[in-house]
Chains A and B, each alone.
Chain A
Amino acid sequence: QKEVEQNSGPLSVPEGAIASLNCTYSDRGSQSFFWYRQYSGKSPELIMFIYSNGDKEDGRFTAQLNKASQYVSLLIRDSQPSDSATYLCAVKRSGGYNKLIFGAGTRLAVHP
């Protein structure tokens, strides 16, 4: 079992819909959770991070964390074709330094 699991997709949603991306992790003591967006041929770009249970909103993006169930999700409201990219979930483990474990990413395709 991988430490951080994501569905590889592609997740296809129509423009204007809500895209829901999910991520599960195995280390129960994990502290912080990050969502990166990566366009094809580009580097990962931070979108959001969350470390408390519940929801965190930033514009059209909402990160949700449920530590009891060991999952974190990213909702994108009013999806746009420009949101089409691979979304990487990253988890900072308990203890140690600022080392992140990345999932394999979910490819999102928003079609007009």
Chain B
Amino acid sequence: DARVTQTPRHKVTEMGQEVTMRCQPILGHNTVFWYRQTMMQGLELLAYFRNRAPLDDSGMPKDRFSAEMPDATLATLKIQPSEPRDSAVYFCASGPDTQVNQPQHFGDGTRLSIL
């Protein structure tokens, strides 16, 4: 079964530290999405890419968050410096090309705790 792979699965770190989360999309999928999920806000879209190009990162706090896709098999989400309010589950999802009504598939998520 093809799946989206995220690392690390869990991360606990102190406020002010840099956090990097990684995602390997399903082979052949050319759209990649980063979401953040909290109890209060639900599932929020942070950024998404098509063919490695960022299309929309309006959901992302620009001063501390950055998202990149250095190649077709790797997407990264960085937080620097991290703050306690960044504690959440971060999901990566990928999907095939955008012109058809195809669903996104989610990775298992990175559970981030900032102390």
- Residues of chain A having any CB pair with chain B under 8 Å: 31-32, 34, 36, 42-46, 49, 51, 88, 92, 97-105
Contacts and interface: CB of A to CB of B under 8 A. Distances in A.
B69 to A, nearest CB: 15
Contact of B106 (A43, A51, A92): A43
B72 interface: no
Contacts, number: 49
Given A31-B101, A92-B101, A104-B42, A98 B95 contact: yes
Q: Which of B42, B56, B91 has its CB near the most chain A CB atoms (within 10 A)?
A: B42
Interface of B: 31, 33, 42-43, 45, 48, 50, 55-56, 91, 95, 97-98, 101-109
B101 A51 contact: yes
A43 B101 contact: no
Contacts of B45: 99-102
B42 A98 contact: no
Residue with the greatest number of chain B CB neighbours at <10 A, chosen from A32, A46, A98, A105? A98
B103 A34 contact: yes
